[in-house]
């Protein structure tokens, strides 16, 4: 291996010229504060180039590489709690299919320590981090940092207004006074746009849920009753319209007040942090199962009858107060049907944080109030309404099945957070197939539940809904064998979180390659059955043996665009045969955190006095020295003599462009 690195070094014209071409989007600065005689606060400031981002210390399992601070042991000090970080940004990553926290432009971290050795003057540590932009990721980088205690600035108090990773034990009293780093105008605009988009989604879902609640047996029959009340109480048509509008506004006020209470009690952002909390997810899994059982007729969730009686007496007073209490009576009497829907909405909205519960309840109540208001204002429209009957209970049961399916999303999230692998992707899909399959049987009249009316025939609407549900059920079945199921990609665990990357019952993807055909040191890359090497020397030796060009794939386990290339480009009919038959693939993971074998640990050729400890560091330095690049993905086509057949390329989502690049390089090898 030392000879290999010597050879790479020989290829470099000068270290200075090389470094000028290597990206360094994150710059670190540090300072130290003295809090008391033996306590200090270590501050790390990261300046991040435009369009790049740095990841949080707290990244879910299966996500990108987290930022970490590695302190040398036995230095004569002890850590107080864990390293605190800023709020940052959090968004759903479409490839990893999880919420990932990151920082843009700048980030600040703090670690409090207590010195136990009075002779200690210097504290040494290593900062490990990963940076990405929209098209590439850099390999994990490790930088040495030193703090000189003699340079510490005396401060009266240091309190922290940052977020700590899960499990942090810093006291709350230490987290109040430090000013957070302010967003730039560009950041504020971007965040505001993302928040508005999320709130509109909550509003739209809540609005549709309000219409669904309207079609339940607790609510729908109350429409003609309400219209009759306003018709009798109003002396003129104008007065009837006025009272109907007030009634609708009262419904909206009651439900919006409920959303405001949830926002106020839990805080604008407190519940957002619970979205990955195990107990939060388990509690709402149980809650939604209870809601589903209630909708299916096992029992009814009702508020005390005394509440409804007291509200009814107030409604008899008439006037504005009477109208308001009529709206409140509607909310209480219909609670057995609307409660589970409202509860589910509040769970989803509250997990988004901010004013989402407020917006959700506004959308729900607006949809619920509109029909009451319009029919009360224009009673003649009642003739167009269908009559109450068993179909109302059918709507309620269908909502129960949907509640049950949604419940397993929370159970799945809890399993993901704990990384127990007890409820993996195949199990989730199997449960959904069972739930929607049972719903199909129910709609076709093969299953009857406690409050169903005798079914003498199936209506056209029910038949079409049953066919739609059955189609959806059949659509999900291939997911057990590895199909991506793009229609529901936001619900099941990601594909890598599964019993087998090829699906149930398969040890490989059903290709023609047998285990006897796999060369020594190679493996089959799932789910494409491409023979791949993860060691440069072994792959190169095999390429010489079979007389094929080499495709070096500089990649990373946490490289977003690497996965996009593999999932969206490599699988194409004109690309996959080339990767299987015409080249020898060597995938070098620059973020492989496994330690190098003892005999292969060498000094870095780029950073004097720095040892390469991990396999990923070796391949990262290989890429940097030989190809003067440190971004992934990067693809290199070369011959057996390690000469490039064509200029290397990076992220190339255009299939035709990537195909042309491959075929041009392979043609050059043949000629």
Q: How far apart are CA 448 and CA 83, in angstroms?
A: 57
CATH number of the domain that residue 623 is part of: 3.40.30.10
In a 3-state reduction of DSSP, which class is residue 34?
strand
Q: Do 552 and 492 lie in a common domain?
A: no
In a domain? residue 184:
no
Closest CA to 141 of 73, 58, 86, 67: 67
Phi, psi dihedrals of residue 303, rounded to the nearest 5°: -80, 160
pLDDT, averaged in runs of 10, over the chain (671 residues): 36 35 80 86 89 84 78 77 84 64 89 86 86 75 84 65 41 36 44 56 78 66 65 66 79 77 54 56 81 78 56 56 71 62 63 66 81 73 60 77 84 75 88 94 88 80 92 92 76 72 53 63 75 90 92 82 81 90 92 80 76 85 85 89 91 91 93 79
Q: Domain ends where: 465, 488, 506? A: 506
b/e sequence 318-327, b meaning 16+ C-beta within 10 Å: eeeeebbbbb
User: Looking at the 3D structure of the chain, how many domains does it have?
Assistant: 4
The reply to whether 262 and 353 lie within a common domain is yes
Question: Among 124, 148, 177, which residue terminates a domain?
Answer: 177
In this structure, are 237 and 160 located in the same domain? Answer: no
CB atoms within 10 A of CB 526: 17
501 and 550 part of one domain: no
Q: Does one domain contain both 161 and 200?
A: no
Q: Select from 500, 556, 426 the least CA-distant residue to 95.
A: 556
List, in sequence order, the alpha helices (H) in 153-277.
185-214, 222-233, 237-266
Q: Does 5 fall in a domain?
A: no
- Tell whether 136 and 103 lie within a shared domain: yes
Measured CA distances, 215 to 59, 79, 140, 196, 223 (Å): 42, 59, 54, 29, 11
Tell me the backbone φ, ψ of residue 326, rounded to 5 degrees.
-65, -40
CA distances from 200 to 92, 204, 414, 499, 620 (A): 16, 6, 27, 37, 43
Identify whether the C-beta of residue 84 lies closer than 8 Å to the C-beta of residue 164: yes
Same domain for 565 and 627?
Answer: yes
Integer CA distances (angstroms), 349 to 262, 283, 286, 356, in order = 10, 16, 18, 5
CB-based contact 343:289 (threshold 8 Å)? no
Does some domain include residue 110? yes
Residue 456 sits in the same domain as residue 347 = no
Task: List the 53-55 sheet strands across, edge first.
Answer: 89-93, 98-104, 53-55, 131-132
160 within some domain: yes
Would 48 be classed as within a structural domain? yes
Among 484, 506, 528, identify where a domain stops. 506
Residue 381 vs residues 208, 224, 307, 373: alpha-carbon distances, Å: 22, 10, 32, 12
- Which CATH number does the domain housing residue 125 bear? 2.60.40.1250
Task: Give every CB contact of residue 14 below 8 A, 6+ residues apart in sequence.
Answer: none
DSSP 114: E
Q: Are residues 170 and 271 in the same domain?
A: no
SS3 of residue 573 by DSSP: coil
Residue 664 lies in a domain: yes
pLDDT of residue 396: 77
- Domain check: are 86 and 155 in the same one? yes
Residues 472 and 519 in one domain: no
Residue ranges making up the domain that contains 451: 424-506
């Amino acid at each position: 291996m030392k000879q290999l690195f010597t050879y790479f070094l020989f290829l470099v014209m000068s270290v200075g010229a090389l470094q000028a071409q290597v990206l360094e989007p994150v710059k670190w600065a540090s300072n130290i504060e003295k809090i008391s005689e033996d306590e200090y606060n270590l501050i790390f400031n990261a300046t991040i180039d435009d369009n790049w981002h740095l990841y949080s210390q707290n990244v879910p399992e299966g996500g990108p590489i987290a930022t970490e601070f590695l302190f040398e042991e036995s230095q004569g000090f002890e850590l107080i709690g864990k390293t605190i970080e800023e709020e940052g940004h959090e968004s759903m990553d479409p490839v990893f299919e999880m919420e990932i926290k990151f920082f843009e432009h700048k980030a600040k971290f703090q670690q409090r320590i207590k010195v136990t050795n009075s002779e200690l003057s210097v504290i040494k540590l290593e900062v490990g981090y990963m940076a990405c932009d929209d098209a590439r990721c850099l390999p994990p980088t490790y930088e040495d940092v030193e703090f000189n205690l003699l340079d510490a600035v005396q401060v009266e108090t240091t309190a922290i207004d940052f977020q700590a990773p899960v499990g942090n034990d810093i006291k709350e009293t230490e987290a109040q006074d430090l000013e957070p780093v302010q967003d730039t105008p560009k950041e504020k605009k971007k965040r505001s746009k993302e928040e508005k988009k999320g709130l509109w989604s909550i509003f739209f879902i809540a609005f549709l849920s309000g219409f669904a609640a309207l079609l339940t047996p607790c609510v729908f029959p109350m429409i003609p009753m309400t219209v009759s009340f306003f018709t009798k109480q109003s002396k003129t048509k104008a007065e009837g319209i006025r009272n109907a509008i007030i009634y609708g506004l009262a419904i909206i006020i009651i439900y919006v007040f409920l959303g405001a209470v949830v926002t106020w009690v839990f805080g604008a952002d407190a519940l957002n942090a619970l979205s990955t909390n195990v107990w939060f997810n388990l509690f709402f899994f149980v809650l939604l199962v209870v809601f589903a059982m209630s909708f299916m007729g096992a029992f009814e969730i009702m508020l005390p009858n005394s509440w409804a009686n007291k509200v009814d007496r107030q409604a008899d007073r008439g006037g504005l107060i009477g109208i308001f209490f009529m709206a409140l009576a509607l909310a209480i009497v219909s609670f057995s049907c609307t409660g589970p829907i409202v509860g589910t909405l509040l769970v989803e909205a509250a997990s988004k944080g901010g004013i989402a519960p407020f917006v959700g309840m506004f959308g729900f109540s607006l949809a619920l109030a509109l029909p009451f208001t319009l029919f009360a204002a224009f009673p003649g429209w009642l003739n167009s309404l269908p009559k109450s009957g068993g179909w109302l209970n059918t709507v309620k049961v269908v909502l129960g099945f949907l509640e049950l399916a949604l419940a397993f999303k929370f159970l799945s999230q809890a399993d993901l957070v704990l990384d127990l692998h007890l409820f993996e992707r195949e199990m989730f899909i199997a449960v959904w197939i069972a739930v929607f399959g049972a719903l199909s049987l129910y709609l076709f009249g093969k299953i009857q539940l406690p409050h169903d009316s005798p079914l003498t025939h199936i209506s056209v609407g029910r038949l079409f809904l049953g066919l739609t549900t059955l189609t959806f059920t059949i659509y999900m079945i291939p997911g057990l064998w590895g199909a991506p199921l793009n229609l529901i990609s936001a619900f099941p665990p990601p594909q890598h979180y599964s019993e087998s990357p090829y699906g149930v019952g398969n040890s490989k993807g059903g290709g023609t390659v047998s285990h006897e055909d796999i060369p020594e040191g190679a493996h089959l890359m799932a789910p494409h059955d491409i023979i791949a090497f993860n060691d440069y020397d072994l792959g190169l030796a095999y390429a010489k043996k079979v007389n094929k060009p080499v495709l070096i794939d500089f990649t990373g386990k946490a490289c977003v665009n690497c996965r996009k290339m593999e999932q969206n480009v490599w699988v194409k009919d004109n690309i996959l045969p080339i990767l299987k038959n015409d080249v020898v693939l060597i995938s070098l993971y620059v973020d492989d955190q496994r330690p190098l074998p003892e005999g292969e640990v060498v000094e870095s050729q780029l950073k004097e006095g720095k040892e390469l400890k991990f396999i990923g560091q070796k391949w990262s330095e290989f890429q940097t020295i030989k190809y003067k690049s440190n971004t992934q993905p990067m693809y290199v086509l070369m011959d057996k003599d390690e000469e490039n057949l064509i200029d290397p390329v990076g992220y190339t989502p255009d299939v035709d462009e990537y195909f042309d690049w491959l075929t041009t390089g392979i043609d050059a090898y043949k000629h």
